[in-house]
Amino acid sequence: MEKRMPVDIRSEIGELEGVILHTPGHEVENMTPKNAERSLYSDILNLSVASREYAQFSGVLEKLTRTFQVQDLLADILSNEKIKESLLEKICRFEGRPDIFPHLLGLPPEEGARQLIQGVVEVKDTLTKYLSTERYALRPLHNFFFTRDASMSVLDDVLIGRMANDVRERESFIMEAIFDYHDLFKTRTVNPLNKKHLTPSTSIEGGDVLVVRDDILLIGNGSRTTSQGIDFILEQLIQQKEKRRHIIVQELPHLPESFIHLDMVFTLLGPGECMVYEPLILKTNKYQTIHIYVEDGRVSKIREEENLMESLRGLGMDLKPILCGGSKDPWIQEREQWHSGANFFAVGPGKVIGYERNVYTLEEMSRHGYEIFRARDILKERVDPHQHDKYVIALDGSELPRGGGGARCMTMPVSRKPVN
């Protein structure tokens, strides 16, 4: 039997030991201009191009660490009839479609996993269904290749996302079941939906939650993670009475959509360095940075800070900011932030992945000592990243960025090695 992997995430930059991915499939293609906005997209993606780009991304990660695929993990747990029945009943009840439960229950595990992700086509066998304009009984999970949002590893536990939009809640149900029941992982899940007195406005998504140190969480407060969601996380920390903890909350604009999560304006790169979108993180603006202190099982202090960087500096983390889009032109900064120019994913300290299209951001990183490698050269073994200490692996990205996220958004880390 394969050895179980304990969930262990105590930083954003420790050497990556395991990560969960989801290769986009026909669920991305099963979209029309009419339902794109409902599916949280502003445009329709070209699956053939997105698939090539994603294959490059996942291929690089397979060379650097252990990877797991959501659909494979889901098929594994659906082979257990009790788990399968429980999960399907939960999904059908939440989505108001108990009538399709027998159909899903009768599917083989691999086909059941595929339909839960790519959508269950509506059988037009009643007048109501015939007259309905809906194509699917269960809609496709168009956003699932952004695996960051539906679950997030925080220290030894997995926090299950309470999605801001019901169209994505099935993603959370699937990830919770995987971590609760799959033999590969050893962890405990924490789900806001299991709280007796859940506030309807409670929402938490993984793009807003950054584990900076084992005692520091950075959390974005915007359109996807509410103050009530942050209070839920705060409540969990208060229950861990033995430690001092800090939550630093960064308010985010609700518009434009490129500010959807904190990791679209701030990510950790390596020891002492971070990527920032300067206008929001460093310059004077109306968005607050709030520091919550948790000591001895209670909130000892809440106060506003000058900005996120100053708050971290006060906790002994004096980070050097590298500017998304470079430092010369705010128009360029804005353009590159829109295409996930601040959204980097670390596979180790000072070793990150991002989009090649953000050329001014990469030039700025090069000036700070990062070697820039093309992902295609890694895959063709023209470059061995293991021989280098500080680098960016630059991904082809024309279609994937149009989905609204970058490398960090497309990864759900399970375990990292400690960082000094």
Percent of the chain beyond pLDDT 90?
81
Side chain identity, residue 215: D
On the 0-12 / 13-18 / 19+ scale of CB atoms within 10 A, 42 is: exposed
Tokens matching residue 32: 């029309």
| Predicted pLDDT of residue 16 | 98
Lowest mean pLDDT among 3-7, 26-30, 305-309, 333-337: 26-30
Average pLDDT of 274-303?
A: 94
Tokens matching residue 363: 């030039």
Report the C-alpha gap between 24 and 151 in whole angstroms: 18
- Long-range contact list for 380-385, CB < 8 A, 24+ apart? 385/63, 385/64, 385/351
Q: Tens digit of pLDDT for each residue in 301-329?
A: 999 999 999 999 999 999 999 999 999 89
Report the C-alpha gap between 412 and 151 in whole angstroms: 7
On the 0-12 / 13-18 / 19+ scale of CB atoms within 10 A, 280 is: buried
SS3 content of the chain, % helix, strand, coil (to 5): 35, 25, 40
Lowest mean pLDDT among 41-50, 148-157, 372-381: 41-50
Q: What backbone phi and psi angles, to 5 degrees, belong to 180?
A: -75, -35
Indicate yes or no: pTM above 0.85: yes
- For residues 171, 172, 176 and 178, what is the CA-based torsion angle, rounded to 10 degrees? 10
- Average pLDDT of the chain to the nearest whole number: 93
Q: What backbone phi and psi angles, to 5 degrees, belong to 60?
A: -65, -45
Q: Is 315 left (phi over 0), alpha (psi -120 to 50) or beta?
A: alpha
2 — pLDDT class (breaks 50, 70, 90): low
| Predicted pLDDT of residue 258 | 86
More confident residue, 270 or 40: 270
Q: Tens digit of pLDDT for each residue in 74-130?
A: 999 999 999 999 999 999 999 999 999 999 999 999 999 999 999 999 898 888 888
- Domains of the chain plus CATH, in order, are 5-416 (3.75.10.10)
Q: Tens digit of pLDDT for each residue in 29-48?
A: 776 655 544 444 456 788 88
Bridge pairing between strands 273-276 and 320-323: parallel
Residue 303 parent element (H or E): strand 298-305
Residue from 260, 368, 351, 266 nearest 311 by CA: 266
Rg (CA), the chain: 21
DSSP reduced 3-state for 359: helix
